[in-house]
Structure 1
Amino acid sequence: MSKLPRIRFIINPVSGTRSKVDVAARVKLNLDHSKHDHDIVYTDYAGHATELAAAAAADGFAIVVAVGGDGTVNEVARGLLHTNTALGILPKGSGNGLARHLQLPLKLDNAIKALNTGQISEIDSGTINDVPFFTTSGIGFDAYISSVFAGNKKRGLKTYVELVLKEVRAYKHLPVKVTINSTELETDCFVMAFANAAQYGNNAYIAPLADIRDGLLDVCLVRQLDFVKAINLSYCMLTRQLANVQSAEYFKTTGVHVQTEQPMMFHADGEYKGKATEFEVKLNPLSLKVVIPS
């Protein structure tokens, strides 16, 4: 029996914008088989990737590679939290938030080749109401957009921005009570984003100063948003700048507690997760091993 480190590739066959690519053939061609043994498995239902990843970690695989978009990456990473098995990513989605933050190659062949020479690092993760996230989570407008975006056949940044500009006028801010850094704050909330990484995906930077290894969440609070502020915030997201103080406020913290009178939508890594009136957001330092370019 071979004693080479093992890699498991978990493929979401319906993920993202390039689902017709023969990933198995590209892995066979580009992976260095003198360094790794590998197998390839496919997901059949929501949550299946987490099960497959956890099973691989328990079986001693060195790396489990998520092949898909941000949702697939989130599922695989959830199965690897607090284990010795590292997450690899072959980006195949429309946003690819974690892959972009880690500066992984976005072209499939190059991403596979990067596994041959990559090194293992550790990153933070977060939870919102016990749901893990690795790039961002949030309540309010961005969660609403996530719910709408999920049902849209068109993907990509252009579609996302168009949705934001279309829906921003109709969405109303809500009052919330926030506890952050031991300070209680009663405020309006149009959107509150909790960023472990700097961007949502598509190089849209909601928290340009976020560091995925610093043990802190970067919180972006938008109290109220009109059309002019939406343009400013969108421009800053695309140019990796902090929005002006009239548009957004930023905090660094290890955790946030939010209470709302009316149920608010929330998301984790861009995936809509439902509604709640209370949110507990926590940061888990260096809780996930990842493969990054050497």
Structure 2
Amino acid sequence: MRALLVVNPNATTTTERGRDILVRALRSQVDLEVAYTQRKGHGVELARDAARDGFDLVVTLGGDGTVNEAVNGLMTFDAGAAEGRAQERPALAVVPGGSTNVFARALGLPSDWAEGTGAILEALRDRRERIIGLGRADDRYFTFCAGMGLDAEVVRRVDQARHKGSTSTPWLYFRAIAQQYVTTNRRVPLLTLELPGEPARSGLTWMLVQNTAPWTYIGERPVDPNPRASFDTGLDVLGLLQMQVGSTARTMAQLARGSDPKGKQVLRMHDLAGFTLTAAKPIAFQVDGEYLGECDKLDFASVPGALRVVC
């Protein structure tokens, strides 16, 4: 089996020694090549080239951003390949190396890179894999979530802080949430949700889209606003219809406690095949915790049977 290991050298929880151990362990089972990402988007290119060159497996060592880039490379290497035909592209294996590792943990893998390596090696020995569905926002695929509005602005603030030397911690995210909430104009509805054959839902100030559960973690605690979301179903959404101080604080507290968000301002939908989000003006958006800029329209789709995952 030919495999490419895509390594993010800046991954939060790994060291050079740990990477060497991983490489030796993988080479005991597969014909391995190693490539290091050098810039944003490089993981897409590496995974796409591996698929075109006939590799059987792409392994990532990094956080959710590294995984997302590899997934997009695998999904776009052949413009003529059908989205839902997972057998037409290499399998993916994920060794957690980031601060949160939502995708790996959603698959049931350990959050520690060493334990995760052991789980992947066992799965390779047993030839154990799973076919999962993905989400897509325009031409960008995502594994567990996408968002327009509040969460994307928080991700942007966290990215800016990390570029200035801050460490990715739950406290950094809490601080970014508080700062963003204070500066957001809560009186201006921005988003409209359009479903085929249904009246449009307007007046939304934030929209979270999940391809699986949970949405994220606070330390070891999962944050699970749409607990029925699954790799095996369509997309789930959570939207806020307004951002008044009391109602929004109550919703955020419900999320932090791990309980289902409730209230007149909360819009939730399950197992959607596709929909469109439009904004009155360009608004921040993110996929899998990666800030991608601003836009005023996104077409979302569920892509079932998209990818083989070793787990």
Normalising by structure 1, we get a TM-score of 0.89
Q: Give the secondary-structure state (helix, strand or coil) at the position aligned to 1:169.
A: helix
Q: 1:225 — aligned with what?
A: 243
* Alignment counterpart, residue 9 of structure 2, candidates 9, 13, 27: 13
Does residue 89 of the first structure (1) align with residue 106 of the second (2)? no
User: Matched residues in 1 for 2:17 and 2:205: separation?
Assistant: 42
Give the aligned partner of residue 50 of structure 2. Answer: 56
Q: Corresponding residue for 1:282?
A: 301
Q: Structure 1, residues 123-156: CA drift from partner, whole Å, max 9, x if none?
A: 1111112211111111111111111111122313
2:184 alignment partner in structure 1: 171
The structure carrying a bigger strand percent of its residues is 1
Alignment pair present for 1:27 and 2:22: yes
Runs of 5+ in structure 2 lacking a partner? 76-85
| Residues 31, 113 of structure 1: 8 Å contact kept | no
Cα distance, 1:247 vs. partner?
A: 4.6
1:177, CA displacement in angstroms? 2.7
Pick closer, same or farther for the CA change 1:247–1:177 going to 2, 3 Å. Answer: closer
After superposition, residues 193-204 of structure 1 pair within 5 angstroms as 193-202=208-217, 203-204=222-223
Greater share of residues in helix: 2
Residue among 254, 258, 282 paired with 1:240? 258
Identity of aligned residues (%): 25
Select 2:274's aligned residue among 255, 268, 293.
255
Task: Provide Cα deviations, 1:13-70, integer angstroms capped at 9, x if missing partner.
Answer: 113x22434343221454471x322221111122211111122222332221111111
After superposition, the Cα gap between the structure-2 partners of 1:133 and 1:225, relative to the gap in structure 1 and judged at 3 Å, is: same
Q: Deviation per CA, 1:73-116, whole angstroms, max 9, x where unpaired?
A: 10011112254311111111122111111111121221111122
Partner of 1:192: 207
Show structure 1 runs of 5+ residues with no match: none
The equivalences for 1:41-80 within 5 A come to 41-80=35-74
Q: 1:114 corresponds to which residue?
A: 119
TM normalised by structure 2 equals 0.84
Which whole-Å CA distance do the structure 2 matches of 1:167 and 1:274 have between them?
Answer: 16
> Judging changes above 3 Å, is the alpha-carbon distance between structure 1 residues 37 and 236 closer, same or farther for their aligned structure 2 residues?
farther
- Alpha-carbon distance in 2 for matches of 1:97, 1:257: 25
Write the deviation string for residues 207-254 of structure 1: whole angstroms up to 9, x where unpaired.
22211111x100111111234334433333344332013352211211
Residues 28/132 of structure 1: CA separation in 2 closer, same or farther (3 Å cut): closer
1:268 counterpart letter in structure 2? V
How many residues get paired?
Answer: 285
Distance 1:211 1:229, change over 3 A: same
Residue 190 of structure 1 and its aligned partner are, at CA, apart by 1.9
Is the counterpart of residue 126 in structure 1 residue 135 in structure 2?
yes
